[in-house]
Protein backbone atom coordinates (compact mmCIF):
# COMPACT_ATOMS: atom_id res chain seq x y z
CA UNK A 1 0.00 0.00 0.00
CA UNK A 2 2.90 2.34 0.62
CA UNK A 3 3.85 2.41 -3.08
CA UNK A 4 0.26 3.23 -4.02
CA UNK A 5 0.30 6.11 -1.53
CA UNK A 6 3.59 7.43 -2.91
CA UNK A 7 2.21 7.06 -6.43
CA UNK A 8 -0.84 9.10 -5.42
CA UNK A 9 1.32 11.81 -3.87
CA UNK A 10 3.38 12.04 -7.05
CA UNK A 11 0.17 12.29 -9.07
CA UNK A 12 -0.65 15.29 -6.89
CA UNK A 13 2.77 16.72 -7.73
CA UNK A 14 1.95 16.17 -11.40
CA UNK A 15 -1.27 18.14 -10.96
CA UNK A 16 0.60 20.98 -9.26
CA UNK A 17 3.15 20.93 -12.08
CA UNK A 18 0.40 21.23 -14.66
CA UNK A 19 -1.05 24.19 -12.78
CA UNK A 20 2.35 25.87 -12.52
CA UNK A 21 3.10 25.24 -16.19
CA UNK A 22 0.14 27.32 -17.29
CA UNK A 23 0.52 30.97 -18.05
CA UNK A 24 -1.05 33.69 -15.97
CA UNK A 25 -1.57 37.38 -16.52
CA UNK A 26 1.75 37.87 -14.70
CA UNK A 27 3.48 35.22 -16.80
CA UNK A 28 5.59 32.28 -15.71
CA UNK A 29 9.17 31.46 -16.45
CA UNK A 30 9.82 27.79 -15.73
CA UNK A 31 13.40 26.59 -16.08
CA UNK A 32 12.18 23.51 -17.99
CA UNK A 33 9.31 22.88 -20.35
CA UNK A 34 6.01 21.69 -18.95
CA UNK A 35 6.25 18.56 -21.08
CA UNK A 36 9.66 17.66 -19.67
CA UNK A 37 8.56 18.33 -16.10
CA UNK A 38 5.31 16.38 -16.31
CA UNK A 39 7.00 13.62 -18.33
CA UNK A 40 9.61 13.16 -15.61
CA UNK A 41 6.93 12.89 -12.94
CA UNK A 42 4.87 10.50 -15.09
CA UNK A 43 7.98 8.36 -15.55
CA UNK A 44 8.53 8.14 -11.79
CA UNK A 45 4.82 7.35 -11.29
CA UNK A 46 5.23 4.55 -13.83
CA UNK A 47 8.23 3.11 -11.97
CA UNK A 48 6.33 3.22 -8.68
CA UNK A 49 3.34 1.57 -10.35
CA UNK A 50 5.58 -1.27 -11.49
CA UNK A 51 6.67 -1.75 -7.88
CA UNK A 52 3.09 -1.47 -6.65
CA UNK A 53 2.00 -4.01 -9.28
CA UNK A 54 4.71 -6.40 -8.13
CA UNK A 55 3.56 -5.97 -4.53
CA UNK A 56 -0.05 -6.54 -5.63
CA UNK A 57 0.99 -9.76 -7.39
CA UNK A 58 2.84 -10.85 -4.26
CA UNK A 59 -0.27 -10.26 -2.18
CA UNK A 60 -2.91 -11.71 -4.49
CA UNK A 61 -1.38 -13.98 -7.16
CA UNK A 62 -1.00 -17.07 -5.00
CA UNK A 63 -3.88 -16.50 -2.60
CA UNK A 64 -6.78 -14.91 -4.44
CA UNK A 65 -9.43 -13.89 -1.89
CA UNK A 66 -12.70 -15.78 -1.79
CA UNK A 67 -14.71 -13.14 0.07
CA UNK A 68 -16.53 -10.69 -2.21
CA UNK A 69 -15.37 -7.64 -0.26
CA UNK A 70 -11.75 -8.73 -0.45
CA UNK A 71 -12.06 -9.39 -4.19
CA UNK A 72 -13.54 -5.92 -4.66
CA UNK A 73 -10.66 -4.40 -2.68
CA UNK A 74 -8.05 -6.33 -4.69
CA UNK A 75 -9.60 -5.22 -7.98
CA UNK A 76 -9.93 -1.61 -6.81
CA UNK A 77 -6.26 -1.51 -5.84
CA UNK A 78 -5.28 -2.92 -9.24
CA UNK A 79 -7.40 -0.32 -11.03
CA UNK A 80 -5.86 2.42 -8.88
CA UNK A 81 -2.35 1.31 -9.76
CA UNK A 82 -3.03 1.29 -13.49
CA UNK A 83 -5.31 4.34 -13.66
CA UNK A 84 -2.76 6.75 -12.22
CA UNK A 85 -0.20 5.77 -14.85
CA UNK A 86 -2.71 6.06 -17.68
CA UNK A 87 -3.95 9.46 -16.52
CA UNK A 88 -0.41 10.75 -15.91
CA UNK A 89 0.70 9.95 -19.46
CA UNK A 90 -2.60 11.26 -20.82
CA UNK A 91 -1.86 14.58 -19.13
CA UNK A 92 1.67 14.61 -20.55
CA UNK A 93 0.30 13.98 -24.04
CA UNK A 94 -2.30 16.74 -23.62
CA UNK A 95 0.34 19.22 -22.51
CA UNK A 96 2.64 18.24 -25.35
CA UNK A 97 -0.18 18.81 -27.83
CA UNK A 98 -1.04 22.25 -26.49
Looking at the 3D structure of the chain, how many domains does it have? 1
Between CA 9 and CA 11 the distance in angstroms is 5
Query: Does the pLDDT at position 56 exceed 90?
Result: yes
Between CA 30 and CA 18 the distance in angstroms is 12
pLDDT tens digit sequence for 22-51: 666 666 666 667 788 889 889 988 998 899
Which of 7, 12, 1 has the alpha carbon at shortest distance from 85? 7
Are 53 and 15 in contact, with CB atoms under 8 Å apart? Answer: no
Give the residue numbers spanning the domain of 55.
Answer: 2-97
Q: With pLDDT > 90 as the criterion, what percentage of the chain qualifies? A: 34
Amino acid sequence: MTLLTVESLLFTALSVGVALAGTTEFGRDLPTSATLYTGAIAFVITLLAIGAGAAWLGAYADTWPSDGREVAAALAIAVGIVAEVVFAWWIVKAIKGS
